Amino acid sequence: MAVAGVPAALAQQTPQPPPASASETAVQNPVPPGVRPPTGEAPLFSEPLVFTRKEAPRRALPFSLTQVRLLPGPCLEASEANRAYMLRLGADRLLHTFRLNAGLPTSASPLGGWEDPKSELRGHFTGHYLSACALRFASAGDLELKARGDEIVAGLAKCQEALSAGGYLSAFPIELFNRLEQGKRVWAPFYTIHKIMAGLLDMYLHAGNRQALEVASRMADWADRWSDAKGLRPMQQILKEEFGGMNEVLYNLAAAAHEDRWATAGDRFNKLAFVTPLAERRDELRNLHTNTHIPQVIGAARRFELTSDVRFRDAAEFFWYTVVSARTYATGGSSNAEAWLTNPGRLSLEWKAGAHHQECCCAYNMMKLTRQLYSWSGDPRYFDYYERNLFNHRLGTIERSTGHSAYFLSLAPGAWKTLNTDDQSFWCCTGSALEEYAKLNDSIYYHGPDGITVNLFVASELNATQQGVRLRQETRFPDEPITGIVIQATPAAAWTLRLRIPAWTTSARVKVNGKVIEATPQAGSYLSLTRAWKKGDRIELEMPMRLTVESLPDDPGLQAFLYGPIVLAGDLGTAGLTEDLIRNKQGPQVSKAPIEVPALRASGQAPEAWIKPDGSSPLSFRMAGSNPPIALKPLHRLWGRFAVYWRVSG
């Protein structure tokens, strides 16, 4: 069902919104005569939150990182580039400002950018780095990065002990929190605390470092006491300053350590002015800072999982729905200049407002939220969105030769990708990239009562020990619209293999051991294959791709082109680009190096009439007809100038 103001192609791939709220239903269905409406109904969240553990059931769970290994392909390339960058950063440099703050000796060369000793956000990247070390160990058995993570944990423990401040640990003095409490200008101190705690918790959960849990627990004790002393109203004022995912990390720590008092502390980090409209299914996101708020929704989703409180489920589901259906570009990203600037469905206005579209942290966190929501319902359409974000945005914003990554993925005509440097940037997106590319195996396979599910077409191996199954996925996707699954080990009893049939495909078909099966796969669903499998059995899924056009909802003449889930961008060369315009720049300064991008004319109803394969490489096309002969290539492969949205007439 199409959603008003939203391109049909996107609406078809988006899970429908939750049922209408009570107030919406009342307008559509008036109270019958003679019936008196109830009075005194309390508004949502009018009573203080009380954490009561009652875990919600989940339909699908990802296999652990240790059970999946990447094989050669674009995901492994990105992972290895990220690893090489991580190894160029020494533990002493990452600990330097922590030691300065704790009064401990240090002679390391200071880092720059957001990790400069004078930056108020210093220390955040070290938390991301710990998470990436732990995730890399779990996903690839990387002992070198595990040892690096262990070294940093030990160094942080010494800093915490030297500070002797009730568990407080940071690279900046506690005075920043005094300014936060007083409403004075300060740069997001709880944001950094969240990153450090999350990194420590990951080192415990994924790398088995018990000391990391102890340090994180003492930090949680400090955060508990600090927030408890403020009271409800002052805390709600404090939460107007960005605080990352403090609610999520406290919920996760409570679950890992079986200490519900930390979940009670997590409840104090729910900004009710933000979550209440979402729980009532109202989009009031205009002018909000995007990546301040997506982590808050991830925390709300985690609270639902631990408590079954449906208010938080409703908030998370509606938030995802309204962002994906009405605030998301063809690439899967959202926002401009780090904010939602318009009302829903007014993407052309937001697109025109500047050149700094799609902050990469936002894409990372939206994918993280998508994983949570998928686990509740198992709806395959969540992975249509996830896949689009992964292949167009995330795999397209890491430079393979350096491991450097982007802050924004601009959609301005003639834009280019800009990147961090080794030691003079350390943006929020640099940190989230470190985590992202350390765990690219985390969403390929899921399991549940329905069997083993293949959600992404990524070359990899799965060792499902509990099920007694090992399989290997062999694919060159997206260069070839086919994937093969080889059964390497299997129990004697029958079990079910489920294949996601993406919404973008046409006339998909499945072969088992070379024979086409009789069932007809339906796009946007799963195909379940249940049988007593044998070692060596091979399943092939063919997913024909086609060209499609996606317009911005409020301006049909602004169009992007896709082949299957892959966004095709115009290759506009590198004229005028210099290293100074690319390196250590958060986004492209298009006005400093403008070029003219032509308008296009459609010469037929179908894009195939005027966009033709050029045969030079997989997924490479060229404009035809009366248009300039511009090459169209996958956006994730372009590192010069490009255009995604075109003005198309005719």
Percent of the chain with pLDDT over 90: 91
**pLDDT at position 502:** 98
Question: Which one, of 478, 485, 518, lies nearest residue 502 by Cα?
Answer: 478
Q: Residue 17: is its pLDDT beyond 90?
A: no
For the CA atoms of the chain, what is the radius of gyration? 25
The predicted model gives 492-514 an average pLDDT of 97
Average pLDDT, the chain: 94
> Can you tell me which residue has the tokens 């580039």?
81
**pLDDT at position 36:** 66
Question: Which one, of 297, 182, 166, 183, lies nearest residue 223 by Cα?
Answer: 166
- Cβ-contact 416, 406 below 8 angstroms: no
Which has more confidence, 34 or 104?
104
Tens of pLDDT, residues 619-630 = 999 999 889 999
**pLDDT at position 484:** 98
- Distance from C-alpha of 565 to C-alpha of 249, rounded to nearest angstrom: 33
Both tokens assigned to 190: 């709880």
**pLDDT at position 213:** 98
- 336: β partners: 339, 357
- Distance from C-alpha of 294 to C-alpha of 315, rounded to nearest angstrom: 11
| Phi–psi pair at 306, nearest 5 degrees | -90, -20
The SS3 call for residue 350 is helix
Tens of pLDDT, residues 183-209 = 999 999 999 999 999 999 999 999 999
The predicted model gives 413-433 an average pLDDT of 98
- The pTM (predicted TM-score) of the whole model is 0.94
**pLDDT at position 35:** 72
Q: Residue 222: is its pLDDT beyond 90?
A: yes
- Distance from C-alpha of 39 to C-alpha of 46, rounded to nearest angstrom: 15
In the chain, the largest separation of any two C-alpha atoms, in whole Å, equals: 81
- Residue 604's pLDDT band (boundaries 50, 70, 90)? confident
**pLDDT at position 42:** 78
**pLDDT at position 10:** 43
Kindly tell me the number of DSSP H helices and DSSP E strands found in the chain.
20, 21
**pLDDT at position 605:** 77
The predicted model gives 424-429 an average pLDDT of 98
- Residue 31's pLDDT band (boundaries 50, 70, 90)? low
Whats the size of the chain, residue-wise? 650
Percent of the chain with pLDDT over 70: 94
The predicted model gives 391-402 an average pLDDT of 98
- Distance from C-alpha of 88 to C-alpha of 84, rounded to nearest angstrom: 7
**pLDDT at position 16:** 59
**pLDDT at position 33:** 66
